[in-house]
Every structure is written in structure tokens, then in C-alpha cells.
Amino acid sequence: MLTYPKIDPVAIQIGPLAVHWYGLTYLAAFGLFMLLANARLKHQPYASIQGPGAWSRRDIEDMLFYGVVGVIAGGRLGYCLFYKPGYYATHPLEILFVWQGGMSFHGGMLGVIVSQWFYARSRGKPFWQVMDFVAPCVPPGLAAGRVGNFINGELWGRAADPALPWAMVFPQSGSMVARHPSQVYQFLLEGLLLFVLLWLYARHERKEAQVSAVFLIGYGAFRFIAEFFREPDAHLMWLQQQTGLSMGQWLCVPMVLAGIVLWLWAQRRGLPARTPHPG
């Protein structure tokens, strides 16, 4: 059994200016996106598209800007609506207090979808072509976020058998109970494994929207599994007790179903990803 190593959440302190590790993981996520997106330009169909619809580094920079706005706005609104709707209904101004913490992946994903729709529309690119480009570049950023969760000692797991070699005590939980390091599980599943599978799948040209569909299915399935080992939020424990599933799992169910429907729709539609058409 291991004990959580107390890590100072502040990476650099210069006078009143404090740079937190969690903020650095966001920067790492954005840097990884830029690196992978530039490699993605060499994949089909993007490498073969010529003329006004051709893809370039400028597209990546613009998509990242739109995506950052979408993930922050969507992640915050999603947390307020999905996890604490009653509280923020009576304290609406605190929705803007992002420095207090509280972000939702599912909300952030919806925010990214909306932001990329605006981007595609403004550039005249097919929406699903944009989403298929972005999808394989996202999991490493999710992995970076889980590293930040571990450094902060938050989102710890459920109680585990103390004999489990990697079981860990998180004093922040208010007890000395051995727990699953669920942040590490999510890092491995939603981050590394999803990235490898999705990157390999996306290297070959697919029907338009199928790469996005596989992302929805893969993330939803891996997150659903990881939630069995993650301690539900205290104020949402009732949902787990009454239904047997956590809020995170309930949010993953429509995500997986949407991914399956989208993949089948794309297969039946049969539109090659390189086909130019209005976005």
C-alpha cells in the first residue's frame, strides 16, 4: 500500500505570482495538440486536399484558439449544470469564478463541438472533416489533465484492498483508507490507450464522421469503466446509491450511443472524408 506523496500544487512562486502545476498541464495539453495536429496534416484526406479547402498550420492555430474558449466555457457550464445545478441556480455569479475549480469533461466536449462548428462555418470547411481532424489529437491532453488531478490529490478512487500493490492512501480524503489511484487509471485508459487506438484508426482514410464516432465510443467506454474505481462526488453519492451508476457513467451512456449511431450513419452515408462540400 502506498501513501500519496504530498506535492505542492504551486510549481513556481515569484512574489505574489504563483504558477500552479494544474495550469501547466493545460499548457502541456495545448502544446501536445499543436504537435499532433501538425503531424495530422500529413494524414489523409488532409494531405491531399488542395485549393481553398487546403489545410495548413494556420488552421491548427485557429482551431486551438476556438477550442480553448470552448473547453473552458463548456467545461465550466457543464460542471455547474451536471454536478451542482441547485447551488449555481442560487449563486449564478459564481459560475464565472473558474479559479475556484470545477470543470466537466462532458461539458468541455460540448463546448469544443460548438466552437469547432463556428470555426468550420467561418472557414467554409465541412464540420465532420474538422471534427475528424481534431479527435485523435485530444486524448494526450486528457492524459495531461489527469496528471494535474493526481498532483492536486483530487478525484481519488474508491476504497481498495490494502493488499493491492498500487493501492494508495489519500489523506485529502479525510481518511487513511487505501484507495484506487483512479487518476492514474484514467490517464492510462482515456489518455494513452485511447490515443493509441484512435491514432492508428485515423491514420487510414475513413468515411467522414467515423473518426469522431470512434472517439465518442472509446472515451465513453473507457470513462464508464474508470468510474467503477473513482469515488463519486459526495453530493452525488445518492445517484450512485439509487441507480448503481455514477453521474459520470450516466453521462457516458448517451455518449457511447451517439458514437454508435454516428458511425453507422457515416457508414451508410458513405461520404469519403476528402469530399469537398459546404460546411
Report the binding-site residues. 146
- SS3 of residue 2 by DSSP: strand
Go through 48-71 and write b for each residue having 16 or more CB atoms within 10 A of its CB, e for each that does not.
ebeeebebeeebbeebbebbbebb
Question: CA–CA distance from 147 to each of 39, 100, 181, 263 (Å)?
Answer: 24, 19, 11, 31
Q: How far apart are CA 256 and CA 213, in angstroms?
A: 9
Give the CB-side neighbour count of residue 242, counting CA atoms within 13 A: 6
Report the side by side order of strands in the sheet with 178-179. 2-3, 168-169, 178-179
Q: Cell for 150?
A: 493526481
Going along 91-153, which residue ranges are E strands? Answer: none
Beta bridge partners of 272: 207
20 φ/ψ angles, rounded to the nearest 5 degrees: -90, 150
CA distance 118 to 91: 30
Verify cis geometry, omega within 30 degrees of 0, for the bond prior to 45: yes
* Cα angle: 137, vertex 142, 147; to 5 degrees: 135
Beta strands 168-169; 17-20: pairing state: unpaired
